[in-house]
Structure 1
């Protein structure tokens, strides 16, 4: 997996997934977000970096749209979101996004292992902190 920064959209897997999300019809997008979260949250084996990267992008989108989290501003995010569009996600994705986030940051996650080797995970954790805070507020409300 090529990564150029630690943001949720800053790797090849996330950028490719966001391109697919952008190309999908509006009625398909919520399902794609849900599937990316489920793939990570329900993974029983070591979560590979590409699934983790896709999940991180989906987590950031849920945090922004459902919880007032950090806005989606990365040039690698789907264009329709950068133009102010919404997917129309349901709030039931918030607990799923939290589960997926826990899985991505778990010991049995290749994405976490790569960041842990690079800088002890500090860069990734700095990106995740505001997402987790927003999702936590969304889950409590």
Structure 2
């Protein structure tokens, strides 16, 4: 799923990449009820990509991130990224449920909080 989302970003024109990230974050934020794992995973990837441009942000792993560089992103995406991550971590969220079933929810939450 993360690779698919990065492929989508790579296929988008440079001036469309930010709007692709924005739409992905907003989709997760605005989802009412059960948050599907696919939507949540894309939101996590989008948030991680936004975080790379923050002060002290970790660079994208070249094996897992998009091949094409991202443009300088608007800083308002940072708040959307936080809101999307809050939604992914909240209930009802299939991704949170799956990590809980794997008994790795603590590590997962810690990693997401670093973003």
How many Å separate the matches in 2 of 1:25 and 1:92? 21
Match of 1:26 in 2: 14
Residue 43 (1) aligns with residue 22 (2): no
Equivalent pairs counted in the alignment come to 115
- 1:73-88 matched pairs, under 5 angstroms: 73-80=61-68, 85-88=69-72
**4+ residue runs of structure 1 moved beyond 4 angstroms?**
none
Segments of 5+ residues of structure 1 without an aligned counterpart are 1-12, 132-141
Equivalent residue for 2:80, pick from 80, 88, 96: 96
Question: Is the 2:14–2:70 Cα contact (8 Å) retained in structure 1?
Answer: no
Instruction: Kindly indicate whether structure 1 or structure 2 has the higher relative contact order, using CA contacts under 8 Å at least 6 residues apart.
Output: 2
SS in 2 for 1:125: helix
The normalised TM-score by structure 2 is 0.92
Segments of 5+ residues of structure 2 without an aligned counterpart are none
SS in 1 for 2:54: helix
- 1:123-138 matched pairs, under 5 angstroms: 123-131=107-115
How many Å separate the matches in 2 of 1:25 and 1:68? 27
The normalised TM-score by structure 1 is 0.76
- Aligned-residue CA RMSD (Å): 1.4
How many Å separate the matches in 2 of 1:66 and 1:87? 13
How many Å separate the matches in 1 of 2:29 and 2:113? 18
